Amino acid sequence: MADPSPSPPTAASASDALLAPDATLPAAAPDLDKEFGFQRAELGKEKLAGTVGFHERHVFLCYKGPEEWPSHVEASESDHLPRLLAAAIKARKPNLKKSTKLTICEGEDGTESSLGDVLIFPDMIRYRELTHLDVDNFVEEVLLKDTEWLPGSPEAIKGSYVFVCCHGSRDKRCGVCGPALITRFKEEIEGQGLDGQVAVSACSHVGGHKYAGNVIIFSPDAKGEVTGHWYGYVAPDDVPVLLRQHIGQGEIVGHLWRGQLGLSEEQQKKALELRHATNGLTEEKSSAKESPEANGTNGAACNPAPAGGCCQGNGGGLTCCQNDLPEAKQDKSIPAEQNHKSSTTECDKENVAATKKGRMKICRASTWFETWDRSDTYTTLAVVASAATVFAAFRCYKAMN
């Protein structure tokens, strides 16, 4: 259905086409599926992120079923309740604290969602059995003043709620894709034992017919916060993925994601770009950690040998580590040990660069005399001379006695 709070046309609303007359759509057949269903040529051709109009609150009115909805159910003279509710919200739009979207969903007496029930997201509240006589008071108290509607008692709702556009009288694509998705959701929910945890319902037009199947999911995220996420181009085989990844793990399914409640169209695009950038960076870091070349070894071990140098092969590779820098490259202002570490790092970098060019860089092994200083020579000579003097004095002393 159309948004009761008119806004400038979006990419989705401007391209809505193939509107069908107010008639019940027959069951999907092969030719219908190829023209309007999951095999249609346009499926998956356009980018999805940023195709959801900005709204902060989503109100669902439970009213009849998709086979009974006219193309504009909120404007139908014969359907008083949705028409009056849409008009009341539109009239108070300038004064509403939250931008509010109204959508019709299935409602039938004797079921969990009875005729006239109102679901409010992300508040996760249900009001029971609204009538056309109560509409103005309800909108005034609940949507305008953010207080409770006294004739009714708000019920907290839990779990996850899935809404699938099945508004076939508005657009044939939704009429063909929607029912097939509802069937698959119900099969998967039952098969995975999610009854009572995940509810699925058909809903009216949500905007963007060309993105059918259109799915909206209200579910707690990893932090327990509830918001609404819109998905497009959803096919039956995507249903298990949505249940597992979005509802089960609290993570969006990026390639199907249209947008999110509370975000502008531009924010939706940036949010997905950021997600892709973050995922790409994570994958790059993971690959770098697994790559031997990232450590500068190219598959070979390079550990300083206690004897003053190392040449170790590993898997047919060979690398030699230089323990010390030449004197000309040494920084006299830092300890010798740090010069030692710097030289090893420099050698590693040269090894990596050389390996990438298809040749092996051999670092010369250091020897003990390369770091021998003149002062060390004088000290050694002094020690030797002292020892000789002591020895000669001792021999003279023995000879005299």
Q: Which tens digit of pLDDT belongs to each residue from 74-106?
A: 999 999 999 999 999 999 999 999 999 999 999
Instruction: State if pTM tops 0.85.
Output: no
Burial label for 278, CB within 10 Å (0-12, 13-18, 19+), is exposed
In whole angstroms, what is the distance from residue 217 CA to residue 163 CA? 6
Instruction: Tell me the CATH number at 260.
Output: 3.40.30.10
Nearest to 162 by CA among 136, 200, 118, 122: 200
Q: Is residue 210 part of a domain?
A: yes
Residues 6+ away with beta carbon under 8 Å from 118: 59, 60, 61, 62, 126, 127, 130, 138
Number of compact structural domains in the chain: 2
Instruction: Tell me the CATH number at 81.
Output: 3.40.30
Domain boundaries, position 185: 160-278
What are the two backbone dihedrals, phi and then psi, of residue 250, each rounded to the nearest 5 degrees?
75, 25
**Which of 156, 177, 209 lies at the terminal end of a domain, its last residue?**
156
DSSP string, 121-180: ETTTEEE----TTTHHHHIIIIIIS----TTS--EE--SEEEEEE--TTT-HHHHHHHHH
**What pLDDT shows up at residue 363?**
47
Q: Which tens digit of pLDDT belongs to each residue from 254-294?
A: 999 999 999 999 999 999 999 888 876 555 555 555 554 44
Query: Quick one: 105 and 166 in the same domain?
Result: no
